[in-house]
Amino acid sequence: MKTWLFHADPESYDLQKKIIKGCVEDWRPWVYVDEMEKGDRVVLWQSGPSGGVHGFGHLAGRSYLSDKAHRVDICYDELLDQPVFKAKLRNHPVLRNLSILKMPNGKNPSRVQEGEYRALKDLIASDVINIFSSYSQEENRFTNGLISLLDLSRHSGQPLFKVFFRELLNLDLQAEIRKCRVLTGIDGTADAEMCGTDIRIRIETKTESGTLREDQIRNHLQRLTRCREETKVLVILTPDDGYSGYIRKFLANRDITSFRSRKHHVLHFEWRRVYECFEQITKGRASVFRELVSQYLTQIRGRIFDQDFAGIIQKISFGDISEVYSDTYLDEVKKWSDWNTPREYKKLDGTGRRLLLYDKTRSAITVEAEIGKVEKIKNGGEFPVKNTFVPGSLKIDKQLVPLARIQKILGFENFKSGRAAAWNVTQEQYPQLGISRTQGDRGQRFVL
């Protein structure tokens, strides 16, 4: 049995979209037409920026003439979730000699030696995650930490893996998960996956709130639908508040709702919930694994919580200019659907962030609302920016958050005397305000 490598230009033939197991398509061979036989193995190569091995197939028959050109039918056997890219092949003692690497513009197909084919299959089978891997994208770095620690916990007798699935996914899959890995290098591919007995879980991570893209999630769902496992789960991991209208609206889009079924699920989790799950391990007895988890949590705090924002606290300007008066506004704001500010605040961008209003006469935050839309209005006077509330998100209380609690938060010690009209609140600081979240079904968690 011989092995042939067929390569395709992604601009005219995207293997990530074309390779469907069992599908047969005809290709045009330019060389070796008389040597190809039914059953010969096929390695499918994508050229261009994502150059590398993307899948496998076999010849459905010998070559034949069609419109005076030789053709051959290839039956697709497998699309690799993680392609084997050129850089990895060039560093391999055997695979660096592949003809496609030496002559990337050669004609289809090129011959793959038996030793090269075995080395390629062995390389794919031995592909494992490495906690020390480096990535150009920060999201991949945090994803790698997450997946690596989960996988390490399985082999070190730690309960983290089981706790993670039980508390976040409502699953008991410790014995069923066969492989955990980070996926990189292909636009539209999720950041990681975990495969088990008839279940595939893909994870998309974001390290900044408000950065979800519908087209990206649509691509993830399309690829996940093509997987052979019966149960398919897409986990979206972001700093965004799972209670927010922004997340609820995002999860209600047509692509996600049409994907969901008894065995197909889309789950959203906040990094804070992952943090709290991992934090349980740090309370156990001292160990190398516990120290690794602690270091990972430090990274989450420093990059995701401390540098991402939940919203702002604005000190209310009372008086005739604002037409807001301390003795009446609490009753009036119940009827309002928006709040005007003197300028546009970057931390109120319509992606689930909050506007908190501080009343200096009551020495407390008295109003909180999620902002769904920000727009400048004509003839707005001293307050030309309208911040529209997400319906149902308004909270009003004379002592929603007292000054004493605000000043206990690191960075807010001088809040009362500080001259700034608006103070940014990070994802790390917001929970310390102690504002109760909306009760009821979160709308983003589904039991399998």
* pLDDT tens digits, 194-210: 888 888 999 999 999 98
Predicted pLDDT of residue 172: 63
Long-range CB contacts for residues 76-79, cutoff 8 Å, separation at least 24: 76/18, 76/19, 76/20, 76/21, 76/22, 76/23, 76/24, 76/25, 76/44, 77/21, 78/19, 78/21, 79/15, 79/16, 79/19, 79/20, 79/21, 79/54, 79/55, 79/226
* pLDDT, average across residues 128-144: 82
Mind listing the pLDDT tens digit for each residue in 111-131? 999 999 999 999 888 767 778
How far is CA 364 from each of CA 88, 321, 400, 409, 419, rounded to the nearest angstrom?
58, 22, 7, 14, 16
- The C-alpha atoms of residue 98 and residue 117 are separated, in whole angstroms, by 10
**DSSP code per residue over 249-274:** HHHTSHHHHHH-SSSEEEEEEEHHHH
Between 285 and 71, whose confidence is greater? 71
Mind listing the pLDDT tens digit for each residue in 20-76? 889 999 999 999 999 999 999 999 999 987 789 999 999 999 999 998 899 999 999
Residue 294 has pLDDT above 50, yes or no: yes
* pLDDT, average across residues 314-320: 95
- State if pTM tops 0.85: no
Predicted pLDDT of residue 138: 86
Predicted pLDDT of residue 187: 67
- The C-alpha atoms of residue 169 and residue 135 are separated, in whole angstroms, by 27
* pLDDT, average across residues 280-305: 91
Residue 228 has pLDDT above 90, yes or no: no
Point out the least confidently predicted range of 277-291, 311-325, 411-425. Answer: 277-291
Predicted pLDDT of residue 173: 60
How far is CA 391 from each of CA 228, 339, 384, rounded to the nearest angstrom?
41, 13, 22
73, β-bridge pairs? 26
Residue 175 has pLDDT above 70, yes or no: no
Predicted pLDDT of residue 73: 96
- Locate tokens 């010969």: which residue? 40
Q: One-letter amino acid identity for 311?
A: G
Q: What is the CA radius of gyration of the chain?
A: 27
Predicted pLDDT of residue 448: 24
Residue 12 has pLDDT above 90, yes or no: no
Residue 227 has pLDDT above 50, yes or no: yes
Between 237 and 79, whose confidence is greater? 237
- The C-alpha atoms of residue 424 and residue 411 are separated, in whole angstroms, by 10
pLDDT over 90 for what percent of the chain? Answer: 61
Predicted pLDDT of residue 259: 93
Q: One-letter amino acid identity for 48?
A: G
Between 187 and 12, whose confidence is greater? 12
Tokens representing 324 are 């807001």
CB 22 within 8 A of CB 64: no
CB 140 within 8 A of CB 148: no
* pLDDT, average across residues 359-380: 93
- The C-alpha atoms of residue 169 and residue 176 are separated, in whole angstroms, by 14
Predicted pLDDT of residue 164: 84
- The C-alpha atoms of residue 117 and residue 32 are separated, in whole angstroms, by 18
How far is CA 21 from each of CA 27, 121, 169, 177, 202, rounded to the nearest angstrom?
16, 18, 29, 23, 19
- The C-alpha atoms of residue 278 and residue 153 are separated, in whole angstroms, by 11
Q: Which positions ≥6 away from 28 have C-beta within 8 Å?
A: 69, 70, 71, 72, 108
Tokens representing 386 are 């309208």
Q: Is 90 helix (H, G, I), strand (E, B) or coil?
A: helix
- Of 124, 13, 81, 53, the C-alpha closest to 227 is 81
Point out the least confidently predicted range of 16-25, 71-80, 186-195, 396-405. Answer: 186-195
Average pLDDT, the chain: 89
**pLDDT category, 174, cuts 50, 70, 90?**
low
Q: In what order do the strands lie in the sheet with 264-270?
A: 177-182, 192-196, 199-205, 231-238, 264-270
**DSSP code per residue over 184-251:** -SSTT--SEEEEETTEEEEEEE-SSTT---HHHHHHHHHHHHTSS-SEEEEEEEESS-TTSHHHHHHH
Mind listing the pLDDT tens digit for each residue in 84-101? 988 889 989 999 999 999
